[in-house]
Amino acid sequence: MVRILGISGSLRAASLNTALLKAAQALAGADMALEAATLHGIPLYDGDVEQAEGAPAAVRALKDRMLASDGLLLVSPEYNNGIPGVFKNAVDWLSRPTPGLADVFRDRPLALIGASPGGFGTTLAQAHWLPVLRTLGARQWNGGRLMVSRAQAAFAADGSLQDEAVKRQLGDFLQGFAAFVATSKRR
C-alpha cells in the first residue's frame, strides 16, 4: 500500500480544492492511504526567524507528515493566473533545510491537481508549479492531468463531489499516481 499526503493550497473553509482533496480521499482505492493536510499555522517565511528559532512547529509537523508519506499530491488553486501565495510560502518553508530532517521534495513522487470556478481550471497555476518542482528535484508524475473548471457546479452545497465525470477522472488519476508511487518505492 502506498501512503500519499495530499496538501490543499487553500485556507478557506469552503475551498473547492479542499473539497477536491476530500473527494480524492473518498475515492482512494485499497492500494492507497490518502491523508489530507492544510497549510493552517504556517507563518510567512522570514529568514531572520528561521536563523534565530529554526523552522516553526507547523512547518516541522508538516515535514514529518511528508517524510512519512511515499508521495505528495498538491491540490492547488489558481489565484490571478498563478500559484497561490500561501501555497508557495509553505513550499518555501518546507524546502528549507531542517536539522534532523531529510529533504522532503528531492526524488519524492508528486502530482498536481486543482479546482477553479473559472473556465480554464488551474491550467496556469499548474504550469507555474513546474519550474518550482523541477528546482526542488521532485519526481513529478505527468501521466495524467486533472484541472476541474467551473468547479462550483461539480460540488454539492455540502462540499461533496457530485459530478460523475469528474469522479471518474479523479479515480483514474489517483490509480495512475498510486501505480507511479508504487513503482518509485521499488527503485
Residue 139: its pLDDT value, please?
A: 96
The tens digit of pLDDT for each residue in 59-76 reads 999 999 999 999 999 999
Per CATH, the number for 2-185 is 3.40.50.360
The tens digit of pLDDT for each residue in 118-147 reads 998 899 999 999 999 999 999 999 988 899
Residue 186: its pLDDT value, please?
A: 57
Residue 58 to residue 61: CA distance in whole angstroms: 5
CB 169 within 8 A of CB 146: yes
If DSSP codes are grouped into helix, strand and coil, which group holds residue 36?
strand
C-alpha cell at 166: 469528474
The tens digit of pLDDT for each residue in 20-60 reads 999 999 999 888 999 999 999 999 999 999 999 999 999 99
Look up the pTM and report it: 0.95
Residue 83 to residue 143: CA distance in whole angstroms: 21
CA 143 to chain centre: 16
Residue 72 to residue 109: CA distance in whole angstroms: 6
The tens digit of pLDDT for each residue in 78-121 reads 999 999 999 999 999 999 988 877 899 999 999 999 999 999 88
Residues in the chain, total:
187
Residue 142, burial from CB neighbour count under 10 angstroms (0-12, 13-18, 19+)? exposed
Calculate the CA dihedral of residues 145, 149, 154, 157 and round it to 10 degrees. 130
Residue 102 to residue 186: CA distance in whole angstroms: 19
